[in-house]
Amino acid sequence: MTNKHNLAHLPEAAGMSGKELMQAMIEGRLAGPSMANTMSFRLIEIGDGFAIFEGEPGSHLLNPMGTIHGGWALALIDSATGCAAHSVLPAGAAYTTIETKVNFSKPITIETGRVRCEGRVISQGRQIISAQAQLLATDGRILAHGTSTLMVLNPGSAPKPAPNADPAPR
């Protein structure tokens, strides 16, 4: 059974680097992940080693105390750090989160309004990438911050030369 939301298997995504793939999602050329719709957040900017998301807290995200569930902030931080890591990967490579740690600084409520989550790669190895993110209110207050450790899958993958291409000089 094929997962239609797995972008790596779409013909349109073939040969795209992580950064190119995410830019195509921002521009609407590729569909974004369904989870982003469920969680009311979206990728708005991608660069070399960084990713920025915006999120809109809503009543569907409330915990029993009437504030936004901490899992929402964690999902935003995990997404921003993961996409920051993905932005430095070549075509064919993927990643998965090994660990995400989050510190909650201020409660998030519906009244908090739109938030911004900025993720950045802080260390990149062949198989492990470390990234950090801050979740910010519109006035710049830090609502939460965290770090992620990500494992590169298929680290040796890179676009293969065309069959008729000249081999690299020796």
With a CB cutoff of 8 Å and minimum separation 6, the contacts of 101 are: 146, 147, 148
Instruction: State residue 157's pLDDT score.
Output: 56
Q: Which domain holds residue 106?
A: 7-153
Instruction: State residue 34's pLDDT score.
Output: 92
Is 31 within a domain?
A: yes
Instruction: State residue 14's pLDDT score.
Output: 79
Calpha distance 55→86 (Å, rounded): 20
Is 77 within a domain?
A: yes
Instruction: State residue 8's pLDDT score.
Output: 55
113 membership: H or E segment, kind and range: none
Cβ burial, residue 65 (10 Å; 0-12/13-18/19+): exposed
Greatest Cα pair distance, the chain, in angstroms, is 66
Asked if 58 and 133 touch (Cβ cutoff 8 Å), the reply is no
Instruction: State residue 21's pLDDT score.
Output: 95
How many folded domains does the chain comprise?
Answer: 1
CATH of the domain at 15: 3.10.129.10
Instruction: State residue 160's pLDDT score.
Output: 41
Residue 132 φ/ψ region, left for φ over 0, alpha for ψ in the -120 to 50 degree band, beta for the rest: beta
Q: What is the pLDDT along the chain (170 residues), one digit of tens a residue?
A: 334 445 555 677 778 999 999 999 999 999 999 999 999 999 999 999 999 999 999 999 999 999 999 999 999 999 999 999 999 999 989 999 999 999 999 999 999 999 999 999 999 999 999 999 999 999 999 999 999 999 999 866 544 444 444 444 43
Instruction: State residue 97's pLDDT score.
Output: 97
